[in-house]
Amino acid sequence: MHAFRAAVEARDLDAIADLLADDVRFTSPVAFTPYDGKPITAAILRGVLRVFEDFHYVREIVDAGGRDSALVFEATVDGKVVNGCDFIRTDGDGKIVDLMVMVRPLQGAHALSAAMGEQFGRIQAEAIAELEARQRIDESTPPRLT
C-alpha cells in the first residue's frame, strides 16, 4: 500500500505532511494555478479531509519503478458523490514532489470547489503559521562555521 494512502486513510495529518517534499507541487482539481510548497499543500490536504465525507480509496495503480502512483477514491461533499484520482510522483527519497488531483462528476467538482472555498481562509492562515514557524526555527539556528 502506498504510504500516502495509508496516512490519508488513517487521517494522520502529521504522516501526510511528513511525506511531502519541501518543494512539492499541488495541482488542484478546481484551481487554475498549482500551489507550490509543503506548507500550503499540507494545509490544503487538511482542508480536504475536513470537507470530504465517507472518503475511501478504491484502487491503487503503481508504476514498475514505484515513483508514480494513481490512487482512485470516492467521497461525498455536501451530499454530492465525488469520484477522483490522486496522481502522485515521488523523489528518490520517497517524498511526494508532485500531487495532482482530478475529480468528477461536474456537480461533485462544484460541491468540492464551494466547500474548499469556505475553507480557504483557514487554509491560508495555517500555511502562513507554518511558514512563520519555519522562519523562527531558521533564525534561531546558529550559523555553521566552515
Angle between helices 106-140 and 38-51 (to 10 degrees): 140
Would you list the domain boundaries of the chain? 3-140
Residue 138 in this model has a pLDDT that exceeds 80 = no
The pLDDT-based confidence of 146 (bands split at 50, 70, 90) is: low
pLDDT of the residue at 136: 78
Distance of CA 79 to the CA centre of its chain: 22
Q: Is 3-140 CATH 3.40.50.300?
A: no
Please count the other Cβ atoms lying within 10 Å of the Cβ belonging to residue 56.
Answer: 10
Could you tell me which of 48, 51, 53 has the C-alpha nearest to residue 74?
53
Dist. CA 92–CA 74, nearest whole Å:
29
Residue 143 in this model has a pLDDT that exceeds 70 = no
pLDDT of the residue at 103: 97
The pLDDT-based confidence of 137 (bands split at 50, 70, 90) is: confident
Q: Identify the DSSP state of 127.
A: H
User: What is the tens place of the pLDDT at every residue in 102-114?
Assistant: 999 999 999 999 9
pLDDT of the residue at 2: 83
